[in-house]
Amino acid sequence: MKKKLVMTTISTTSPLWPFHLAVAKQQDHLRQELVGKRLNELRTPTLVIDRTVVKRNCERLGNIKTKHNVNVRVHVKSHKTVEGTAIQLEEAKTDSIVVSTMAEAHLMVSSQLVTDGKLKQILLGFPITPDKFTEVFELAERVQAFQIFIDRLETLEALEDYHKTRPLQKKIGVFIKINCGYGRAGVPLDSASEKESVLALAKRLASSNSCTTLHGLYAHAGHSYKARSPQEALSYLEAECNSAREFQTFFLKEANINIPYLSIGATPTVQAIVHHTDNERVSKALEGITEVHAGAYSLLDRQQMATGLCTEKDIAISVACRVASRYPDRGTTLIDGGALAFSKDNAPQGGFGITTTGVVLQSVSQEHGILASSSPDMHVGDIVRVQPNHCCLTSACHNYYLVVEDGGDQVVDVWFPVRGW
């Protein structure tokens, strides 16, 4: 007998969300205290974002829409802030985002971006689970379109069962998450049982008169981070797009279900669209693709540098640390930023980050960072700016971000990310 999916729903929003609202006054106070200060006047470690670079990175994504006539959906998980999202939306000429957590969704739905009509579509970029059904229904009624991932029929059945107990005035858009080679989430087409499973899901979505509507297919080539050149990244893009079209053809052939909306993307594959010089090949890859999505492109990092699609000048994020000591006998310098300031994510270049002067952060423990240099030019108390391996996890280590402009060191704003799930 098939085991029925257990529904565990909650009647209120995330417990972390009211806390975020409660600290709004403290945030205003902190902003007043920090704006106008120089980095060397402030405690470290602290995360720094160059707003000028963010805008430039986001503008490039907007050029895709103009040049290739595809929609753009921006992922906000790298920074999790309203301010960063506003820049992404404006520069990319879009009103659609992806969030990775319900906390991000609550933040965005409650923001002025929705009130002003700048944000109209929000997609929860993780396959939905029953404990979040109540929140999804609440949020769906507060924004023009709220969308979710479903890749299993049992999830849809549980959602429809929940809908019987809770009416909804509008439909929730569903993307079927497909696996295009990354193997993290999404259904593949490489086995008979998987084909049967996803076909049953598509049929149910296409015929459902419940709370959902079949919106499209969503592919994410996360394995494109392995690319080491624009040429390799373009190959990942082609495979990603081919997978989306393959699924589209499969549904049309097997069940006469037409799914015209195809969303693909990862920062390396989207960067390939921006930077690759073979426009004919790029255009061919994008044939039939409706939308591209990406997130890390707004900040960038050493992992993205390894793909050959950006340089250190394109990295908008750094962690400001202070020199705590030097050890000439072993050729190292101690800084006050460790694993809890950077994370322990790797990059192909080695180390856990690199200073803006080119010194590698060779090791980290909880609060200790070890630079691979004991240069006498570095003195105790000096500020060093370290570009991280992975912008998403590094930013998640910090409760606020100091914003600068044009490579400067004067704080012009403070951004507060939402935390929790």
Check if the beta carbon of residue 64 is closer than 8 Å to that of residue 292: yes
Other C-beta atoms within 10 Å of 188: how many? 15
- Check whether 80 has a pLDDT greater than 70: yes
- For residue 100, list its beta bridge partners: none
Check if the beta carbon of residue 296 is closer than 8 Å to that of residue 392: yes
CA distance 143 to 120: 6
pLDDT at 23: 67
pLDDT at 188: 86
Measured CA angle at 140 (ends 136, 144), to 5 deg: 150
CA distance 82 to 15: 20
Q: DSSP string of 136-192?
A: HHHHHTTSSEEEEEE--HHHHHHHHHHHTTS--SSPEEEEEEE-SS--SSSB-SSSH
Other C-beta atoms within 10 Å of 409: how many? 16
pLDDT at 191: 83
Measured CA angle at 242 (ends 241, 248), to 5 deg: 95
Paired tokens of 78: 């790298």
- Check whether 283 has a pLDDT greater than 80: yes
CA distance 399 to 79: 11
Paired tokens of 344: 């322990």
Q: Confidence class of residue 10 from pLDDT cuts 50, 70 and 90?
A: very low
Q: Which of 248, 299, 247, 291 is nearest to 270 (CA)?
A: 291
Mean predicted confidence (pLDDT) in 298-308:
98
Lowest-confidence region among 1-15, 72-86, 134-148, 402-416: 1-15
- Check whether 247 has a pLDDT greater than 70: yes
Check if the beta carbon of residue 359 is closer than 8 Å to that of residue 382: no
Residue type, 337: G
Residues of the chain with CATH 2.40.37.20: 312-415
Residue type, 240: E
Homologous superfamily in CATH for domain 51-299: Alanine racemase (3.20.20.10)
pTM comes to 0.93
Q: Which of 324, 330, 305, 332 is nearest to 384 (CA)?
A: 324
- Check whether 113 has a pLDDT greater than 90: yes
- Check whether 326 has a pLDDT greater than 70: yes
CA distance 117 to 419: 25
The three-state secondary structure class of 316 is coil
CATH second-level architecture of 312-415?
Beta Barrel (2.40)
pLDDT at 26: 87
Paired tokens of 169: 């005035």
Q: Confidence class of residue 9 from pLDDT cuts 50, 70 and 90?
A: very low
Residues of the chain with CATH 3.20.20.10: 51-299
